[in-house]
Amino acid sequence: MQGDQILDCKGLSCPMPIMKLAIAMKKLDTGKVIELLGTDPGSKEDVPAWCDRTGNSLLEVVEEDDGFTFFIRKE
């Protein structure tokens, strides 16, 4: 999967990845996908919770040795 926009939040701790995601999503057109790259272990719970709260769709989570990639579609 590939996002329409990449948001690199590697090295950032909570709450910065969620704050940057919220700002980026406001600028994104409906139906487009953000590919969020992160290393904060808390993101694994924070991103799905944020998607549930905001009504956006978490399409996929890829966990690798060097972090996480989240694919989020703006609804």
Q: Return the residue matching tokens 């808390």.
A: 42
Of residues 3, 8, 13, 14, which has the active-site annotation? 14
The span from the CA of 40 to the CA of 33, in Å, is: 21
9 assigned to active site: no
Question: What mean pLDDT value characterizes the chain?
Answer: 96
Confidence at residue 62, expressed as pLDDT on a 0 to 100 scale = 97
Burial class (CB in 10 A: 0-12, 13-18, 19+), 17: buried
Alpha carbon 36 to chain centroid, angstroms: 4
- For the chain (75 residues), the mean pLDDT of every run of 10, in chain order, is 95 95 97 97 95 98 95 98
- The class level of CATH for 5-73 reads alpha beta
* pLDDT confidence of residue 34: 98
pLDDT at 1: 85
pLDDT of residue 71: 98
